[in-house]
Amino acid sequence: MSDMIKQVIVVRRDIHMGIGKLAAQVAHAAVLGAEKVKATRREWFDSWMMHGQAKIVLKVKDKDELMQVKSKAEMLALPVVQVDDAGLTQLEPGTTTCIAIGPAPADMIDKVTGELKLL
């Protein structure tokens, strides 16, 4: 299934967010990631849209681990976006909450996130 396209959102678990806040942060990542890929890798975006917009949400323990995942994705030239909270509700301004990788080929993303656990 090397032609499968998916998006992976990776969330920090060391910051305390309510369920609604967490859902909003994941939604921000999904939209930002999709918009980036739509502008830069249209064929990936179109395939992803046509086949159900697969999304997987994974977790890391802290910001350091999140930044390691981000760096690995960038080294493989995968599209990555980072969500930094505006600080209007539960978090300090600029708190990095999550990243989105893709939409991109699943086999490429799995090289970066294959060992992470589901949220």
Domain boundaries, the chain: 5-118
> pLDDT value at position 88?
83
Q: Is 3 exposed, middle or buried (0-12, 13-18, 19+ CB in 10 A)?
A: exposed
pLDDT score for 10: 98
Query: pTM here?
Result: 0.94
If phi > 0 it is left, if psi is from -120 to 50 it is alpha, else beta; for residue 102 that is left
Asked whether residue 1 carries a pLDDT value surpassing 70, the answer given is: no
Architecture of domain 5-118: 3-Layer(aba) Sandwich (3.40)
- Tell me the per-residue pLDDT of 21-76, one tens digit each, with 9 for 90 and over: 999 999 999 999 999 999 999 999 999 999 999 999 999 999 999 999 999 999 99
